Amino acid sequence: MNLNGKAKEQMSYDAIVIGSGISGGWAAKELCEKGLKTLVLERGRMVKHITDYPTAMANPWDLPHRNRMPDTFEAANPVATKCYALDEATQQYFVKDAEHPYIQEKPFDWIRGYQVGGKSLIWARQTQRWSDYEFVAPARDGFAVDWPIRYADLAPWYSRVEKFVGISGNKDGIDSLPDGEFLPPFELNCVEKHIQTAVKTNYADRHVIIGRCAHLTKPQPIHLQQGRGQCQARHLCYRGCPFGGYFSSNSATLPWAAKTGNLTIRPDSVVHSIIYNEQKGKATGVRVIDAHTKQTTEYFAKIIFVNAACLNSNLVLLNSTSKRFPNGLGNDNGLLGRYVAFHNYRGSLTASFEGYEDQYFYGRRPTTAFMPSFRNVKKQETDFQRGYMVAFSASRAGWGRGNGQEGFGAEFKESLLTPGDWSVYMMMQAETVPKYENHVRLSADQKDPWGIPQLITSVGYDDNDIKILKDFLVQGAEMLDKSGCKNIASYDDNRNPGLDIHEMGGVRMGKDPKTSLLNKWNQFHNVKNVFVTDGACMTSVGNQNPSITFMALTARAANYAAAELKKGKL
């Protein structure tokens, strides 16, 4: 143990946040604003806004392989390279397979971003609120456990988050996808509008909307104060945005927290486990392994926020053993690591569309058309549980779409100047039902390079997931057909769980300590000064993109924790 000769007080803070990604950034912001001296521990390297985005302004010809990864890289990284967002300009933000091993008992593509900012640098920024239909679903349909909160508990926190983040969207007035605090929306193009009208004409309960996304279409004073500017619709977001046009921890929450003077960020600090003090009956700090020297240090705090992203939060907690908690922190009921769920993205459709040859679209819109779930929303109607969102876009082939086009000479250049035919791409984002068997646990004998047990993933599809996939392929094809699309083709890409990058659960919230780990404040039932507010806390997974919900839960829990601390209750 190396305390670097420093006194314990020098290693002590009011709060420790584990992880600096989307949820950790929010915990840091809220806790620092409440006056708490906050230490953010991040296993990855520092990534500073703007200065550490080396490829942000690069053209394809500036990149050694014209933005494609060499075959050798793909062979060495079979998991990471499955992520559509990884290319030569973004690969620096993705974990390389061999460097961070885990054990796939069932195939699971675990996509990770280990750096200050986490996956907030590389997310696709789609942000839809949950509705009460998602919060009541487990109780109504008899799966998982009842959520200890409802939409009304989270609504004000969604608003707080949306105002700060900056969400572009349209107020659509759909009760299953509540409206938020929106900046001006992006626009559907003419073919998408055509499909929107056809869907409205043919289905009373289906709506096509423009995607709600974390982009500054019209920066407000709060965004300018963050030093962020308007989205340029370059859609090079995954490289880091020098304009701060999209939300990331690096551009927004972390610098905001730093401005309070209460923030300390320690990159290269791998959290090994949380320290539990038997006498005090609470957690007192964390053990950290230096990413490079591998020396161990302890840091202490009154409250701890666990925001390492779903599976790593499970890992840290499972590894936090003590006499009181031999099976992981707070794990009296043996459910830590259980009921992991995800989003089923297996289905997609393509089609062509004839017409609108005289129309085009402007810029590279960083979002797409969406349809809120229309299956089993108000009651159980099908032979499968839950539902799915549909995302689709229409585009014309031609330059800008032609990354993969090959050729040379005058004729080829000329062809790139002429917009090609319209085509449509449609995909599903389905809810999966959390199940006891879908779990993660620690290996008893295999360790990572930091001496931490490797995580074993045992998460798979079930019959319900296959039925939902089949339903989407039929319904999607029908909607495209009714919209006048041609050459409709459907695909099941049979992808592994994990590639959705929406993994959730393992440390679920609930009302009863016998069946859940966390209470309605994201606080361990039995270790009151430890809060888990990333995807690990999710009791069920809904069908919406999840990160805005993680942010709202985090802001709510951080404000509660700060208030409880002030009252001397933690």
Ligand X SMILES: Cc1cc2nc3c(=O)[nH]c(=O)nc-3n(C[C@H](O)[C@H](O)[C@H](O)COP(=O)(O)OP(=O)(O)OC[C@H]3O[C@@H](n4cnc5c(N)ncnc54)[C@H](O)[C@@H]3O)c2cc1C
The correct pick among 144, 501, 527, 552 for binding ligand X (CB under 6 A) is: 501
Q: 458, exposed or middle or buried, with CB in 10 Å at 0-12, 13-18, 19+?
A: middle
Nearer residue to ligand X within complex by CB, 176 or 490: 176
Residues 260-279 that bind ligand X (CB under 6 A): 270-271
534 near ligand X, rule: CB under 6 A: yes
Distance, CA of 112 to CA of 89 (rounded, Å): 16
Q: How far is the CB of 273 from ligand X (least distance, A)?
A: 9
- Token pair of 234, please? 């370059």
- How many C-beta neighbours within 10 Å does residue 378 have? 10
Give which of 299, 439, 252, 287 is closest to 15, Cα–Cα: 299
* Residue labelled with tokens 């302890």: 298
Range 66-94 burial, b when 16+ CB lie within 10 A, else e: ebebeeebeeebebbbebebbbbbbbbbb
18 near ligand X, rule: CB under 6 A: yes
Q: How far is the CB of 319 from ligand X (least distance, A)?
A: 9
Q: What is the 3-state secondary structure (H, E, C) of 415-482?
A: HHHCCCCEEEEEEEEEECCCCCCCEEEEEEEEECCCCCEEEEEECCCCHHHHHHHHHHHHHHHHHHHH
Q: How far is the CB of 447 from ligand X (least distance, A)?
A: 13
The correct pick among 19, 219, 419, 505 for binding ligand X (CB under 6 A) is: 19
- How many C-beta neighbours within 10 Å does residue 271 have? 26
Residue/partner pairs of 154-157 with CB below 8 Å, 24 or more apart: 154/130, 154/549, 154/552, 154/553, 154/556, 155/129, 157/552, 157/553, 157/555, 157/556
Distance, CA of 546 to CA of 541 (rounded, Å): 8
Nearer residue to ligand X within complex by CB, 305 or 374: 305
The correct pick among 209, 546, 558, 562 for binding ligand X (CB under 6 A) is: 546
Nearer residue to ligand X within complex by CB, 273 or 516: 273
Cβ-closest residue to ligand X?
21
Nearer residue to ligand X within complex by CB, 287 or 396: 287
Q: How far is the CB of 117 from ligand X (least distance, A)?
A: 6
Distance, CA of 245 to CA of 243 (rounded, Å): 5
Q: How far is the CB of 183 from ligand X (least distance, A)?
A: 17
Nearer residue to ligand X within complex by CB, 83 or 198: 83
Q: How far is the CB of 427 from ligand X (least distance, A)?
A: 12
Residues 114-143 that bind ligand X (CB under 6 A): 114-115, 118-120, 122-126
Nearer residue to ligand X within complex by CB, 41 or 527: 41
Nearer residue to ligand X within complex by CB, 452 or 468: 452
Residues 20-79 that bind ligand X (CB under 6 A): 20-24, 41-44
CA 12 to chain centre: 30
Nearer residue to ligand X within complex by CB, 368 or 483: 368
Quote the crossing angle between the two packed helices 190-202 and 463-482, to the nearest 10°: 110
Residues 76-115 that bind ligand X (CB under 6 A): 83, 85, 111, 113-115
Nearer residue to ligand X within complex by CB, 151 or 203: 151
Site residues, ligand X (CB under 6 A): 18-24, 41-44, 83, 85, 111, 113-115, 118-120, 122-126, 270-271, 307-309, 312, 316, 501-502, 534-535, 545-547, 550
